[in-house]
Structure 1
Amino acid sequence: MVSDATIDPIRDASRRMVRELGFMRPTLAETDMSPSAVHSLIEIGRSGTLQASDLCDLLGLEKSSVSRLVGKLVRTGMLRETADEKDRRAKVLSLTDQGRQTLSRIDDYARRQVHAALSHLPENAHVTVREGLLAYAGALAAARENAPTPAAEDVAIIAGYQPGLIGRVVEMHGRFYARTEGFGAFFEARVAAGLAEFSGRLAAPCNQIWAAMEGGRIAGSIAIDGEDLGENTAHLRWFIMDDALRGKGAGRQLLQKALQFCDDRGFAQTRLWTFRGLDAARRLYEAHGFMLEDEWPGAQWGSEVMEQKFIRKRPV
């Protein structure tokens, strides 16, 4: 049995390391790239070639997140995709010259960072730091691999405001889109402002928000704003899932609750705005009757993306 006297100082040290290493910022290692993009270059550079599925395992990310990440790195000239010699249907990823140059700068920055930190410790403590970090990183990986996966039936969908809901929904958006799209404070602030304004209108019967609760923790959300668009049109907003629940069916439950709400209140149609590349979400939307109406380049979230508008008409 591990005591709190051991656990709490390790948690505190881990939080401090995350902040000192720069993982609270939207970019990492003196680049304009997200932490997941930086780690992708490091892992591919170390291995020579990898498949996207390998990155899923190494980074602990879902397939759709890695697909968007790889696509962005290919478009920016950091990675190239080629057919696998053993399986022509599969693609292997490797660094371009630009990717190798960027990785070299990342490595130089990281080595300087470690050197500067170790210079504040006596030399006989260097081995202790190295062996301790290696052992702890290995233990974290083993715990993740053996952790039980939450099932959709373990998730409760609760309507209405819950304590901590606003902050948690903003946090999930900020962390997910910083990691996958490189969005920063501008995006997170817009989510926070919009959600705060909407929360003041929850008493209106045409508005509602739902939380996916897993073990007493808010792990997902979705909202229907029945006022901002007018013309008997519902606006689907703030649909987000915690990484631990992605692909487990909880997102489908949230969407179904929201659309049933729209149909019960007689909205003629439901609209949502998103952007290209969120493939798993798009498949879920289309499976529930949404159709792409329009797309255009835009930067309303702080970075240029191909914005999209989807519409679902009320079933007859």
Structure 2
Amino acid sequence: MAATLQLEKSTVSRLLDRLSEKGLLTVTPSARDKRAQDLELTASGARLYGEIERFADAQVSAALEHLPGSCHDTVRLGLELYAAALQGEKPKPEFQIQSGYTPGILAAVTEFHALYYAQNFEFGAVFERKVATEMAEFLARVDHPQNEVFYAAIHGRVVGSVSIDGEDLADGVAHLRWFIVGDQARGTGMGQRLLAEALRFVDDMGFAETQLWTFRGLQAARHLYEQAGFVLVEEKPGQQWGKEVSEQKFLRPHGASGAGP
């Protein structure tokens, strides 16, 4: 019990003594192990336990009524992550990779980009507006066969995405765009899975090559790109994101190894 509650054994012993003194708990020597004791709620203890359960359920229900339904999954995910952290575990939330438009994906992808690049590279309104405007234009034609958006969802909530635009560059060239994973999902392998799905689509569609633009300093993303067969082919100063950076162009020939399972 001490291990489960993460309390000192002496503290647990005192708590059990108090519950026993109040007639809520019986403590008897175990018939299986003389070193152990069996604990059982009395009738009064069981009634009190039921009252506590009902009170707690009512508290949670009342709180959730003040939140929009779309936030309920966020609360659940947060509690799962917090519970894992209390146990000293690295959270590994289950996620599903899906494709196609889903309500809220534009807002989610724009927010992930805006927050991450503002916090880490001091990008501002120009960058956020660029992401929102260009992705909105892309979503207007995402149903064209050479285009696709992939997203990862946890409890129905978008937590990562990547898109393949097969129309905005030259014929036979795919453009990998808006590859992002939210803070709560980094380190779960989600980015690698998203990239693998996107490149599988590219190869199935028969694109001669895939291009992407990024900038120097995104080492984790570059590692994933190179694992997937991308090669750095060009680097130059640029300001298309609202701040001068060293822009990098990566290219992946059709069928390059490393796209993942």
State TM-score, norm by structure 1: 0.55
Q: How far is 1:7 from its partner?
A: 5.4
Instruction: Name segments (4+ residues, structure 1) moved above 3 Å.
Output: 4-8, 142-145, 147-150
SS at match of 2:170: coil
Structure 2: which 5+ runs fail to align? 1-55, 68-81, 257-261
SS at match of 2:242: coil
Partner of 2:219: 279
The structure-2 alpha-carbon separation of the partners of 1:285 and 1:4, relative to structure 1 and needing over 3 Å to count, comes to same
Q: Using the alignment, how far apart are the partners of 2:222 and 2:203 within structure 1? A: 20
Q: Tell me if 1:242 matches 2:149.
A: no
Q: How far is 1:151 from its partner?
A: 2.8
Q: What are the within-5 Å matches in structure 2 for residues 251-270 of structure 1?
A: 251-270=191-210
Partner of 2:253: 313
Query: How many residues matched?
Result: 186
Q: 1:159 aligns with which of 99, 122, 126?
A: 99
SS at match of 2:246: strand
Q: Using the alignment, how far apart are the partners of 1:299 and 1:156 within structure 2? A: 35
Q: Using the alignment, how far apart are the partners of 2:124 and 2:90 within structure 1? A: 30
Q: Tell me if 1:293 matches 2:233.
A: yes
Q: Using the alignment, how far apart are the partners of 1:5 and 1:315 within structure 2? A: 52
* Matched-pair contact (CA < 8 Å) for 2:164–2:176: yes
Structure 1: which 5+ runs fail to align? 12-141
Give the number of the structure whose residues are more often helix, by fraction.
1
- Which is greater in Rg? 2
Q: Using the alignment, how far apart are the partners of 1:184 and 1:4 within structure 2? A: 38
Q: How far is 1:6 from its partner?
A: 8.4
Q: How far is 1:234 from its partner?
A: 0.1
Q: Using the alignment, how far apart are the partners of 1:251 and 1:150 within structure 2? A: 15
Partner of 2:148: 208
Q: 2:167 aligns with which of 216, 219, 227?
A: 227
Q: 1:170 aligns with which of 99, 103, 110?
A: 110
Q: Tell me if 1:217 matches 2:152.
A: no
Q: Percent identity?
A: 48
Which amino acid is the alignment partner of residue 173 of structure 2? T
Q: What are the within-5 Å matches in structure 2 for residues 142-153 of structure 1?
A: 145-146=85-86, 149-151=90-92
Q: What are the within-5 Å matches in structure 2 for residues 31-50 of structure 1?
A: none
State TM-score, norm by structure 2: 0.66
Q: How far is 1:240 from its partner?
A: 0.2
* Matched-pair contact (CA < 8 Å) for 1:213–1:219: yes
* Matched-pair contact (CA < 8 Å) for 1:150–1:244: no
